[in-house]
Amino acid sequence: MTNTLTRSIILVTLEQAKRDCILVAAAKAFAQRGFRKASVDEIAKSAGVAKGTVYLACESKEDLFYQAVHREIREWTANAARLIDPRKPADELLLSVAVASLEDVGRRPLVRELLEGKHSELLPQWMPQFEELRILGRKNVVEILELGIAQGRFRGDLDVNEVATLLQDINMSTLIFQRYRTDFDFPRRLRAGIDLVLNGLRLPNQKGTIPSL
Amino acid sequence: MTNTLTRSIILVTLEQAKRDCILVAAAKAFAQRGFRKASVDEIAKSAGVAKGTVYLACESKEDLFYQAVHREIREWTANAARLIDPRKPADELLLSVAVASLEDVGRRPLVRELLEGKHSELLPQWMPQFEELRILGRKNVVEILELGIAQGRFRGDLDVNEVATLLQDINMSTLIFQRYRTDFDFPRRLRAGIDLVLNGLRLPNQKGTIPSL
DNA sequence: AAAATGACCAAAAAACCCGTTTGGTCATTC
DNA sequence: GAATGACCAAACGGGTTTTTTGGTCATTTT
């Protein structure tokens, strides 16, 4: 009993390590050479295994790609989540986590390419799954927002998910348009954007909803 | 003297009309069939001129594409500019102009495809020029912001260009991500986004800049 | 016994060829 | 002098062959 348990744990551990190794190699290859040009054999060799072993970790090349992306994004999100210290002021977290996330994504070419809309030939079919990953990333923002409300710093009358989506979009834009602009100081841009969202554009005495439309 | 002047004006007028005609035909063809599949001859015939005439209006097919895009965006921007009535409250304008712009872009497939990142094989080389066009569009937002400050509705301590860029990015995101989401009510999203930017996320008693970082 | 392998095969991609189309020019026409 | 369309090199398309590659599975290794 204990033996089989130990064994299965060891097995899972070994399998998981190899699995990770394969997915990392896949992520690197797909990012460097694109989905089509990266070959499964090349990925296998880069991971130090034979091709057959790769197919113990995935169903198909598409599945491999998706798993590699999924893993990168989960790691990315988890890194960000680790920064959310509930003792810190939520408004400060909003900025520091965003900056860290964008820096992190710079080190993840595969994620970055996806967010920037490369691999667009594959995107349509996978959009549902990627939307799922977006929701994953949004959970961090929602957490910070709810923290801010609990801290009495943020308004409680807003739809937290709505606001989170908007902030996520701002971060995306910052990321996407960054590459097209010269002399682009993205922490500064982020700071300006989040500062604006925090304090609002209206003069204090003018607060209220938009009059009409 | 008067004669040559009159003639040249007439010439310019005639040329301009034909030029427009060509550029409109080009925009339609490029949007429908893409840059490569749309042929110059086809565009010429659709504009009711011979191919040689097209080359009186442009230097090359690439230039033709760029001019067509440029013209569409100028028109788009001008339409939006026409809606800026200084007698109306600036916060109201912010929303109504954004909604109208996004509706308008829906009727301009070429512009829309560009903003969504299609034609991506051409984009890198043309980014500088498109950035120029972005600045053009930003002028409208800046105008509204300055109006709001003059009306005593908006804070005057912000960098107007910075804020305009941010609002432009929000609009872009709304546009870009719209297509990937089901049940996406974009005027509602825009309203929520602009409302947030106007009123801010912080509780009124918490105003101030971000404490530290 | 279970995990890992790599030879193997159908299918897809690349390379090649060649007839057709097309971007761009310019002598001619209006 | 503005507009044209015949003209040409170069690029495109598509059909065919060759090469590569995704995916399998009998065999080997641990």
Q: Which domain-ending residue is among A21, A42, A57?
A: A57
Question: Residue range B96-114: average pLDDT?
Answer: 91
The reported pLDDT for the residue numbered A182 is 67
Do residue B10 and residue B89 come from a single domain? no
Chain B positions in Cβ-Cβ contact with residue A135 (cut-off 8 Å): none
- Cα–Cα distance for residue pair B9/B30, rounded to 1 Å: 31
- Quick one: pLDDT at residue B3? 40
H helices present in B116-159, as ranges: 123-150
Which residues numbered 55-74 in chain B sit less than 7 A from strand D, measured from CB? 55-56
- The separation, in Å, between residue A44 CA and nucleotide C29 C1' comes to 68
**CA dist., res. B183 & res. B46, Å (int):** 38
The answer to whether A178 and A148 have CB atoms below 8 angstroms apart is no
In angstroms, the CA B195 to CA B89 distance is 14
Establish whether the CB of A39 is closer than 7 Å to any nucleic acid atom in strand D.
yes
Q: How far is the CA of B111 from the C1' of D11 (A)?
A: 27
Range of the domain at A99: 61-201
d(CA B125, CA B26): 20
Distances (CA, A) of B192 to A26, A53, A93, A194, B74: 40, 50, 22, 16, 28
What's the CA dihedral at B37, B43, B44, B45 to 10 degrees? 100
Residues A19 and A100 grouped into a single domain: no
- Token match 């937290």: residue? A160
* B32 and B52 inside one domain: yes
Quick check: B153 and A195 CB within 8 A? no
> Is residue B211 assigned to a domain?
no
Q: Is A128 exposed, middle or buried (0-12, 13-18, 19+ CB in 10 A)?
A: exposed
pLDDT at B212 over 80: no
Q: How many C-beta atoms surround the C-beta of residue A184 within 10 A?
A: 12
**pTM for this entry:** 0.82
Question: How far is it, in rounded angstroms, from Cα B88 to Cα B93?
Answer: 7
Closest residue of chain B to A121, computed from CA coordinates: B118
- pLDDT greater at residue B4 or residue A95: A95
Q: Answer yes or no: do B26 and B103 share one domain.
A: no
Alpha carbons A130 and A136: distance in angstroms, whole number: 10
Distance B101 CA to D2 C1' (A): 38
Please report whether residue A91 resides in a domain: yes
d(C-alpha B213, C-alpha A92), whole Å: 7
- Check whether residue A83 and residue A180 sit in a common domain: yes
Q: Which of A93, A145, A163 is nearest to B194 (CA)?
A: A163
| Count, residues in chain B | 213
Judge whether A120 is closer than 8 Å to chain B, CB to CB: yes
List chain C nucleotides near protein: any atom < 7 Å from a Cβ.
3-7, 13-14, 21-27
d(CA A175, CA B83): 31
- Of A194, A193, A30, the residue nearest A112 (C-alpha): A30
Structure tokens that stand for B47 in this block: 């504009």
Q: B43 falls in which pLDDT band (50, 70, 90)?
A: very high
* Alpha carbon distance, N-terminus to C-terminus of chain A: 70
Among candidates B153, B170, B208 on the partner chain, residue whose Cβ is nearest the Cβ of A170: B170
Number of domains in chain B: 2
Predicted pLDDT of residue A180: 64
Question: H helices of B155-185, where?
Answer: 160-178
Co-location of B113 and B144 in the same domain? yes
Q: Give Cα B161 to chain centroid, integer Å.
A: 16
Q: Which residues of B touch A211 (CB under 8 A)?
A: 89, 91-92
Please give the pLDDT value at position B64.
96
pLDDT at residue A78, as a whole number: 95
Q: Between A154, A169, A209, which is nearest B202 by CB?
A: A154
Q: Are residues A127 and A71 in the same domain?
A: yes
Q: Measured between CB atoms, does A122 come within 8 Å of chain B? A: no
Answer yes or no: do A48 and A87 share one domain.
Answer: no
Among A16-25, A109-118, B9-18, B126-135, the range of highest mean pLDDT? A16-25
Give yes or no for a contact between B22 and B43, defined as CB atoms under 8 angstroms apart: yes
How many Cβ atoms sit within 10 Å of the Cβ of residue B53? Answer: 14
Q: Is B125 on the interface with A (CB under 8 A)?
A: no
Do A135 and A152 reside in the same domain of the chain? yes
How many CB atoms sit inside 10 A of residue B14's CB? 10
Q: Are B42 and B69 in a shared domain?
A: no
Measure the CA–CA gap between B199 and A166, rounded to whole angstroms: 14
Interface of A with B in 152-171 (CB under 8 A): 152-155, 158-159, 162-163, 166, 169-170
- CA B198 vs. chain centroid, Å, equals 23
What are the residue ranges of helices labelled H in A38-116?
Answer: 40-47, 51-57, 61-82, 90-106, 109-115
Q: What is the per-residue pLDDT across B130-172, written as a single tens digit (0 to 9) for each?
A: 778 888 889 999 999 999 999 999 999 989 998 998 888 888 8
* Chain-chain contact of B195 with A180 (C-beta, under 8 angstroms): no
Q: Are residues B47 and B70 in the same domain?
A: no
Provide the total of helices (H) and of strands (E) in chain A, helices listed first. 9, 0
